[in-house]
């Protein structure tokens, strides 16, 4: 009974929204119908763009050829185009034929150092240099689909630009996965270089396709939806000795192993996990050059994920204490460095409530879900620090598949069902237009 009433309420709310939008627009133009039709008609183009990006991926801050493809498309549409923002970023500006607000739509561009194992005719065989090594490159997080979706939205809206009550900024952002050490870039640099200015963007929308969310579904959450992320490094200093005489020195590898274990106890025993989740992961450890030599030093690198600022500060303090005193207990010395990272991806509650009926219109109330926050991170959060933003997830998993059997993001077997991009097309276009018509 409650479910039926809830669905009825959502239907009536969406109907009222559509009526209100039509009344405010003063036009007989049916935006929902147009966007639905265009999403189907442009789908083959969008798939073609996606497959090109997938076959020829580029790493963070190296998206040179990717940027050229995007730039050419936006120029062909007749948009004002800006390039070289945050090194390789591209922005297209579509000024509508009617007055209204400026809305930002964002897609990320970079790929990852992952070797693809999925058997696709357009699978990546690209290799590139990363941290001084030649590595395989793959779009193992779906950014290829994000770019293709936004290119499709740009075309469908440009086709009827005289009907648009406002301006759309199409923001193609490099280096979402993080810049190489020693380089700047990404959303933070785009903001610093004025991507949200001239004309000033009022709100911004972004999406992420999910390999473990069924196609046709949308997940969102008001407030914090993704975690803050901080990279850290640890240098452990021991005393070198022969591998057969460990008592003759101080073993930084054993000390490092215990540091890793003790870092995990911060999360499991010192963090209030009933409040918010937290994660400390060591992803890199390097030490030694030979099996029978205990080396002088060891190096570790990892990531910290938090969803609460106070918890983040306490966790940093606990990490410094744990690293220092664990090393001392072995007679070693250790230095922990925590780097600035991404803030919490925070969906403005008022904007989210305002646009939730649009998401339900796109996917249907039964396929639109308010979810718990996740410990992944997104530098879309830098845009949201400046202006209200809404970030959401669309499904990219075959509908009949069990999510437990779907490969997660950032893995060689990551796979996206392309049909899910239709939901992205409809969602991004409807969000932009509905916001303009309600403004």
Q: Domain ranges for the chain, please list them.
A: 14-226+345-438, 228-338
Which one of the listed residues 56, 342, 346, 415 is annotated catalytic? Answer: 342
How many residues would you count in the chain?
A: 439
Amino acid 7: pLDDT: 43
Q: Cα(355)–Cα(284) distance, rounded to whole angstroms? A: 41
Answer for the pair 169, 103: CB distance below 8 angstroms, yes or no: yes
Q: Cα(63)–Cα(109) distance, rounded to whole angstroms? A: 7
Q: Cα(195)–Cα(104) distance, rounded to whole angstroms? A: 10
Helices (H) and strands (E) in the chain, counts: 11, 18
**What homologous superfamily is domain 14-226+345-438 in, according to CATH?**
Zn peptidases (3.40.630.10)
Of 235, 259, 230, 232, nearest to 335 by C-alpha is: 235
Which one of the listed residues 301, 333, 386, 418 is annotated catalytic? Answer: 418
What the block records as the tokens of 101 is 């607000």
Decide if domain 228-338 falls under CATH 3.40.980.10: no
Amino acid 97: pLDDT: 97
Q: Is 48 a catalytic residue?
A: no
Note whether 14-226+345-438 and 228-338 share their fold: no
Amino acid 8: pLDDT: 45
- Across the beta sheet with 297-306, the strand order is 278-287, 297-306, 228-237, 333-338
Q: Is the dihedral of CA 105, 217, 224, 345 positive or negative?
A: negative
C-alpha of 360 from chain center: 22
Angle at the Cα of 60 from the Cα atoms of 183 and 407, rounded to 5 degrees: 135
What the block records as the tokens of 259 is 């540091």
Q: Is 418 a catalytic residue?
A: yes
For each of the chain's 439 residues, which pLDDT tens digit applies? 433 444 444 444 445 545 444 444 445 899 999 999 999 999 999 999 999 999 999 999 999 999 999 999 999 999 999 999 999 999 999 999 999 999 999 999 999 999 999 999 999 999 999 989 999 999 999 999 999 999 999 999 999 999 999 999 999 999 999 999 889 999 999 999 999 999 999 999 999 999 999 999 999 999 999 999 999 999 999 999 999 999 999 999 999 999 999 999 999 999 999 899 999 999 999 999 999 999 999 999 999 999 998 999 999 999 999 999 999 999 999 999 999 999 999 999 999 999 999 999 999 999 999 999 999 999 999 999 999 999 999 999 999 999 999 999 999 999 999 999 999 999 999 999 999 999 7
Q: Exposure string (b/e) for 347-375, b if CB count within 10 Å is 16 or more? A: bbeebbebbbbbbbbbbbbebbeeeebbb
Strands (E), 292-417: 293-294, 297-306, 333-338, 345-347, 368-370, 389-397
Q: Is the dihedral of CA 207, 210, 213, 215 positive or negative?
A: positive
Name the pTM for this structure: 0.87
Amino acid 27: pLDDT: 59
């Amino acid at each position: 009974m409650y479910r039926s009433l809830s669905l009825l309420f959502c239907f009536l709310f969406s109907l009222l929204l559509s009526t209100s939008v039509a009344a405010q627009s003063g036009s007989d133009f049916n935006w929902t119908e147009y966007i639905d039709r265009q999403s189907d008609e442009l789908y083959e183009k969008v798939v073609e763009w996606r497959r090109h990006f997938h076959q020829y991926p580029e790493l963070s801050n190296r998206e040179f050829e990717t940027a050229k493809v995007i730039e050419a498309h936006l120029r062909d549409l007749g948009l004002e185009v800006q390039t070289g923002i945050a090194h390789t970023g591209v922005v297209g500006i579509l000024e509508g034929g009617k007055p209204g607000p400026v809305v930002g739509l964002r897609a990320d561009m970079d790929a990852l150092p992952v070797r693809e194992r999925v058997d696709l005719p357009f699978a990546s065989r690209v290799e590139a240099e990363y941290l001084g090594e030649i590595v395989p490159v793959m779009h193992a997080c779906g950014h290829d689909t994000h770019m293709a979706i936004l290119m499709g939205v740009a075309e469908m809206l440009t086709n009827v630009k005289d009907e648009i009550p406002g301006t759309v900024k199409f923001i193609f952002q490099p280096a979402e996965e993080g810049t190489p050490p020693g380089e700047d870039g990404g959303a933070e640099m785009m903001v610093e270089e004025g991507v949200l200015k001239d004309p000033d963007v009022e709100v911004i929308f972004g999406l992420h396709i999910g390999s473990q969310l069924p196609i046709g579904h949308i997940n969102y959450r008001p407030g914090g939806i993704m975690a803050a992320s901080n990279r850290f490094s640890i240098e452990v200093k021991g005393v070198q000795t022969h591998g057969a005489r460990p008592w003759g020195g101080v073993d930084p590898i054993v000390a490092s192993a215990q540091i890793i274990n003790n870092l995990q106890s911060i999360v499991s025993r010192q963090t209030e996990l009933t409040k918010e989740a937290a994660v400390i992961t060591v992803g890199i450890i390097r030490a030694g050059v030979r099996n029978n030599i205990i080396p002088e030093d060891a190096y570790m690198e990892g990531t910290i994920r938090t969803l609460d600022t106070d918890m983040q500060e306490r966790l940093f303090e606990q990490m410094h204490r744990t690293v220092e005193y664990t090393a001392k207990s072995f007679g070693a010395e250790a230095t922990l460095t925590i780097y600035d990272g991404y803030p919490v991806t925070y969906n403005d509650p008022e904007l989210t409530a305002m646009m939730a009926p649009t998401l339900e219109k796109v996917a249907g109330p039964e396929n639109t879900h308010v979810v718990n926050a996740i410990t992944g991170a997104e530098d879309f959060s830098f845009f949201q620090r400046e202006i209200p933003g809404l970030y959401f997830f669309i499904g990219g998993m075959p509908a009949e598949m069990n999510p437990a059997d779907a490969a997660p993001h950032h893995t060689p077997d990551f796979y996206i069902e392309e049909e899910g991009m239709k939901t992205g097309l409809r969602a991004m276009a409807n969000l932009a237009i509905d916001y303009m018509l309600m403004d």
